Chain A
Amino acid sequence: MKLERELMRGAGPTAVLKLLSRRAMYGYELVEALAAQSDGVLAMGQSTLYPMLYNLEAKGLIEADWRDGDNGRQRKYYALTGKGRTKLKADEKAWSKLTQAMGDLGIVKGAPA
């Protein structure tokens, strides 16, 4: 199951920031990780991912640099900035409250009461 565009527009950046909070990642790696770790719910193609990354970069939430990868080819790695970390914390709080509210309404099953 994939999210509708509007839901993805809200959830996608937070998911990307969360993945990048663990370590710097390159584009394809992010695509794979999002698909694997969200059971395909947050899977997104290049057409969605790269514009999203450029937007986050424009806002100063992430930064990018080209590095040599394991296979010797260059890849563009994205990493969280201080500003991005702050934003992520705020987003996590917001999502937590949202999930709780949805749980209270019985929309989200198994959410903490």
Chain B
Amino acid sequence: MSNAFTNAWGWSIKHSPLLSVWRAARGFVRPNREAFALLEKATLPESIDEVIRSTIVRTKLWRDEREQIARELIAHAQDAIDAGREPDQIVSTFGDPQRVARLMRRSMKRKRPLSWQAYRFSRRAAGGLLLVLFVSYIAVVVRFYTSEPQIKTDFGAILDSRSDGFSEDQKSWAILMDCGVVWSKIEHLLAQEQADRAMLQTVADDEAQDIGVAIFPYIEPDHPDYQAFEEAVRGFAPYLDELRAAAQRPIIGLPVGYEPIMEKWEGRMFVTGVVPAGPDEYKQQSVIGVQLIHLGSLRRLSQVLIYDARLAVEEGDIQRACTNYIAAMGLARQTRNESILYSELVGIAIHSMVGKELAHLLRDRPGVFESEQLTQLAHAHAGLTQLPVISIESERMSFLDTLQRAYSDNGHGDGRMTPEAFEYYGLMTAPPDDFGPVSVADAISIDPRMRAATMPLSIVLSNSREQERALHGAVMDQAQLVLDRGVQWVSVMRDAELIVEKVRAEETPMRISFAAMMTPGMSQVVHRWYRYEHTMGAISLMLAIEAYRDEHGRLPDSLSMLQARYLPEIPLDLMDPGSSIKYLVEGDRYVLYSVGSDGDDDDARAPEKPVDPYLRNQETSFDLRYPQARSPMTNKPIFESGGKPMLAEPTGPDGDWILIDTRPVPDSDAEAS
């Protein structure tokens, strides 16, 4: 028992990792000390001594191992000498010290403790694994850097084909661009003055512009910059004439295949024009980069028209105001006619803005328009209501165009990410003011050398072309389904959107997803469309009610009195199936509203607080939150057949969606008292 214990104890000591570490560490300090001391002591013939020393040194073993070998070789040599062997003979039978040392080293290492053997095995395994990984990575690198995209479809030409059959004087883009540049420069100066006045001289130009943008278009007469702003709008009058004429044209017609002309003015870059791109330049110019350049300008110019309308009303020139509203609706119509998703959204926003402005005007001055003016407004409005439902096809084209510029093509619709994908990704994620090519390193904050080394991993970590197309396509398909079938199907969209959100959350510099970056929030788009449908219906009703009032000298008692003579059909409240938009009369004022997402008629009482954060600062309490499906997704319509909405949690807030409200704004002092 005692012997077994001693053996076990000895084995444990011998194979202890600590002992191995100690023995290895000793080898770094005078590793031949003991071995050479033994040789000194042995006083062997010089030739033998030299061979043994040489062998010992070359073994590169631990210090105690060298000592063991030295002892053994010395004993061997002494035995040979005792047996009468000559030193030369002993040396000749010894062999090459290099080879002997190598054999000794190998065999001695096999005798080392288990802890060391385990360490060596794990080190070799790790080395082997690293080698496999390295070789695999080299294969990935070669595969990545030899891939290149093939641009096979000219989506730009497809988009440009919308302008086929229209002459240049039927297109408004050149006038819009001229007016836009002039107004941008005026606004830039206004913003700088504003910054100076606010004693923000140290603020960078960009920030100064932001301040200006933040105030416009909500600037009110009591604002310190209002007078300067008013003067600027009056000074813009010649361009407004051009703008009103341009708004009557059928289309904008801005070609996709163009190159922007940039000009630096007062420290800021402006797009001052475009030049047509050559026949092959679409290969360098993506659809994404060229189709949106005019939208901001369009929105601004519409706002200026509305401001000028306010000035006209103050001056008593109602016809000019009317013409401006009609021109703004013309711009909205042209923008929606582009059939590009973001253009459509801008068109919707401009039209909604006009509707809101008309409501405010009628609130402040009931019966302000004459019969002829109301007819003109109704015609301009009808030009928009007759347009088809919002188109998302361009969005699909934009995405497919991106894929063909970023991925290789295996001929069957699939492919892998290419180096161009990263450049393209960087370009797309660059700040909006940068028009030149931007390196992905700037965009995703990663060292270029690190990027070059790690980019190839993207073909392993990122989605394939087909996966990206499917991811984007699923959201678009579901959005199209909701747009085709009605608002009651809105909850089906969350399935695909959640998947995209998950991919977006998991993006890294090596795992990028164009679908995650480019898939628009289609729920918001669809919500916006249905909100717009409500708004369009309400504007139609408002104009019809005003026409009725103009003719009869009073408001209609009910909306049914408008049917046929003033409106072919009474617009529906989409949240109250089968029922029209609600109408509430208070004296010579009226409200048009929807029952909203709670499905209950609350007598034109808005929800106390808009739930949607985007709406908190807006005047209309128009809650966008259509009922959402609970998890797991129901994929069912939110309405019972012919009944009220089946509201899923969370339900919409208590209250109605106020679409048009001509009631006086409550006096805040009176309210407080």
Does B bind A? yes
Given A46-B94, A47-B95: A54 in contact with B80 (beta carbons within 8 A): no
Asked if A50 and B104 sit within 8 Å, CB to CB, the answer is yes
Asked if B100 and A46 sit within 8 Å, CB to CB, the answer is yes
| A47 and B72 alpha carbons, distance in the complex (Å) | 12
| A13 and B80 alpha carbons, distance in the complex (Å) | 22
- Which DSSP category, helix, strand, loop or mixed, fits chain B's interface? helix
Q: Which residues of A contact B72 (CB under 8 A)?
A: 27, 50, 76
| A54 and B75 alpha carbons, distance in the complex (Å) | 16
Q: Which residues of B contact A57 (CB under 8 A)?
A: 111
State which residues 18-64 of A face B: CB under 8 Å. 26-29, 31-32, 45-48, 50-55, 57-59
Instruction: Digitize B76-109: 1 where CB-to-A-CB distance is under 8 Å, 0 elsewhere.
Output: 1011101100000000011110011001101110
Given A26-B79, A27-B76, A51-B106: A46 in contact with B111 (beta carbons within 8 A): no
State which residues 65-96 of A face B: CB under 8 Å. 66, 71, 73-76
| A52 and B76 alpha carbons, distance in the complex (Å) | 15
Question: Of B95, B100, B110, which contacts A58 at CB under 8 A?
Answer: B110
Closest Cβ of chain A to B57, distance in Å, is 16
Asked if A54 and B76 sit within 8 Å, CB to CB, the answer is no
| A32 and B93 alpha carbons, distance in the complex (Å) | 12
Closest Cβ of chain B to A58, distance in Å, is 4
State which residues 220-279 of B face A: CB under 8 Å. none
Asked if A28 and B83 sit within 8 Å, CB to CB, the answer is yes
Asked if B79 and A51 sit within 8 Å, CB to CB, the answer is no
Given A26-B75, A45-B95, A76-B72: A51 in contact with B82 (beta carbons within 8 A): no
Q: Which residues of A contact B71 (CB under 8 A)?
A: 66, 74, 76
Given A45-B94, A46-B93, A47-B94: A54 in contact with B79 (beta carbons within 8 A): no
- Which DSSP category, helix, strand, loop or mixed, fits chain A's interface? helix
Chain B interface residue number, banded: 20 to 34
| A73 and B104 alpha carbons, distance in the complex (Å) | 23
Q: Is B73 an interface residue (CB 8 A)?
A: yes
Closest Cβ of chain A to B362, distance in Å, is 101
Residue of A nearest to B96 (CB): A47
| A76 and B83 alpha carbons, distance in the complex (Å) | 17
| A40 and B35 alpha carbons, distance in the complex (Å) | 32
The count of chain A contact residues (Cβ–Cβ below 8 Å) is: 25
Asked if B75 and A76 sit within 8 Å, CB to CB, the answer is yes
Asked if B73 and A54 sit within 8 Å, CB to CB, the answer is no
Asked if A47 and B75 sit within 8 Å, CB to CB, the answer is no
| A14 and B54 alpha carbons, distance in the complex (Å) | 30
Given A46-B93, A46-B94, A51-B103: A73 in contact with B108 (beta carbons within 8 A): no
| A68 and B73 alpha carbons, distance in the complex (Å) | 16
Given A27-B75, A45-B93, A73-B78: A54 in contact with B83 (beta carbons within 8 A): no
Q: Which residues of A contact B99 (CB under 8 A)?
A: 47
Residue of A nearest to B117 (CB): A58
Residue of B nearest to A59 (CB): B110
Instruction: Digitize B168-179: 1 where CB-to-A-CB distance is under 8 Å, 0 elsewhere.
Output: 000000000000
**Which one of A28, A29, A31, A66 has the greatest number of beta carbons of chain B within 10 Å?**
A28
Q: Which residues of B contact A58 (CB under 8 A)?
A: 107, 110-111
Asked if B103 and A47 sit within 8 Å, CB to CB, the answer is yes
Question: Of A51, A53, A74, which contacts B75 at CB under 8 A?
Answer: A74
Closest Cβ of chain A to B38, distance in Å, is 11
Spell out B's residues near A (CB within 8 Å): 69, 71-73, 75-76, 78-80, 82-83, 93-96, 99-100, 103-104, 106-108, 110-111
A-B contacts besides A28-B75, A54-B104, 6 pairs, CB < 8 Å = A32-B83, A45-B94, A46-B100, A59-B110, A75-B75, A76-B72
Sampled A-B contacts (14; CB under 8 Å): A27-B76, A27-B79, A45-B94, A46-B93, A46-B94, A47-B96, A47-B100, A47-B103, A51-B103, A54-B110, A54-B111, A73-B78, A75-B79, A76-B71
